[in-house]
A = this chain, B = another copy of it.
Amino acid sequence: MSGINKVILVGHLGKDPEVRHLEGNVTVASFPLATSESYNKDGKRIEQTEWHNIVMWRGLADIAAKYLAKGKLVYIEGKLRTRSYEDKEGHKKYSTEIVAENFTLLGRKTDFEPASSSTNQNEETEEMPKPEIGGKYAVDDSENDLPF
């Protein structure tokens, strides 16, 4: 109860989204996102880049697979989730991810062409409408916390 868990990021994709299809026709897309900030330290300009693991599920993953690609600038809203797992040597590890809830493409017009990287090229591209420049993409996951 009583909780807000919200992340807002604007950054560039470090790689094309990696798309996997799970049982039950569930799509998952994931990619690293860089958010950089710069500041002065001792008179020198320092740029610090933070890398975030972004995960998108179902419909949002499908859209990500079509429109997002390495280098694109994107606004992402989501929530933090930390998973624990064991690596191959059996050591417990933690991974913190941002589970995206919606995203908006930002940046120049040429960024708004459908992505054509090896990861997400496919024949259905023509059936997909052009992404609205700056359009917000969100998908109802039927996980709405409604009281009925």
Contacts A37-B145, A137-B146 hold; do A10 and B3 have CB atoms under 8 A apart? yes
A76-111 at interface with B (beta carbon < 8 Å): 79-82, 89, 91, 93-96, 104-108
Contact of A1 among B63, B80, B135 (CB under 8 A): B135
Q: Which of B37, B45, B81 contacts A136 (CB 8 A)?
A: B37
Is there contact, CB below 8 Å, between A38 and B81?
no
A14 at the interface (CB under 8 A from B): no
Count of chain A residues near B, Cβ 8 A: 63
Do A3 and B145 touch across chains, with their CB atoms under 8 A apart? no
Contact with B along A1-14 (1 / 0, CB 8 A): 11111111111100
A132 at interface (Cβ–Cβ under 8 A)? yes
Instruction: Evaluate contact between A38 and B134: CB separation under 8 angstroms.
Output: yes
Residue A68 at the chain B interface, CB threshold 8 Å: no
Q: Which residue of B lies closest to A131 (CB)?
A: B147
In angstroms, Cα B49 to Cα A144, docked, is: 17
Instruction: Chain B residues near A95: list those with CB within 8 A.
Output: 94
